[in-house]
Structure 1
């Protein structure tokens, strides 16, 4: 399952209303570290897509959600469970560290 892109308009349905955990990658096209973490998130989506959804939100194009969650540095990854932020990860983390950080949600 590939990562999904969401917007201010679709965030409620794509993230907050989901029954499975959702990892949201707040990113921007000009962000170097965001580009480094993108392929890792694709891999996580492929490997763990049945347990956690990976959704990307372009912070430049979607200021409402970005502002609502106080995102000031990117990449920032929030994990949402039942519409609530349960974990925040900041920076381009290597895959092994991301998997360790997410293990509670990967079953």
Structure 2
């Protein structure tokens, strides 16, 4: 029995909040990493794609709108610092360690869906905790590959929380509730 594409799409839209709890794995990991498998499942049957005609009536008009704003920024001042180079990262990292300032290193990528979903939450938390600097690092920037492997960044989004010059916690994935509770525990 074939599946109705409209129902599949509706289920996908209804469950989109579950994407927030996922994390994308990065492809540059060594093959001996215990968390990942480099094997690709193959099938003896060829993969075929089928297109379905669209009806004139929309089946999705009753779907709820997303609870968060995508790719939005606040108009107020921000304590989020973008890092685009390895030199910038090393400078920020040294400052956090030497001056023992509270900070978060937020590893992200523009292609990462969960990263885009958690971005407004990061903006809200940065306003709620103005004494904590968030360093946002795009993993696709050149010259950061060595640094990422040294820090064992294997997924995005990854958040590393620093307090008193040392890493105090790490959150992997776009889990807004865990992010908020970690911030409360460390920085209030």
1:49 match: secondary structure: coil
Give a deviation string over 1:22-77, Cα, whole Å, max 9, x none. Answer: 11111111000011111111111111022x21111011112232111111111111
Q: Superposed, which structure 2 residues align to 1:17-96 within 5 Å?
A: 17-18=95-96, 19-50=100-131, 52-61=132-141, 62-94=144-176, 96=177
CA contact (8 A) 1:15 1:83 kept: no
Matched, 1:12 2:94: no
Detail structure 1 runs of 4+ shifted over 3 Å in the superposition: none
The number of aligned residues is 105
Look up the match of 1:106: 187
Q: Distance in 1 between matches of 2:170 and 2:86?
A: 19
CA contact (8 A) 2:109 2:115 kept: yes
Structure 2 unaligned spans of 5+: 1-77
1:71 match: secondary structure: coil
CA contact (8 A) 1:3 1:56 kept: yes
Q: Which protein shows a greater Rg? A: 2
Higher helix share: 1
Q: CA deviation at 1:100?
A: 0.8
Look up the match of 2:54: none
Q: Distance in 2 between matches of 1:84 and 1:106?
A: 14
Higher RCO (Cα < 8 Å, 6 or more apart)? 1
CA contact (8 A) 2:79 2:133 kept: no
Structure 1 unaligned spans of 5+: none
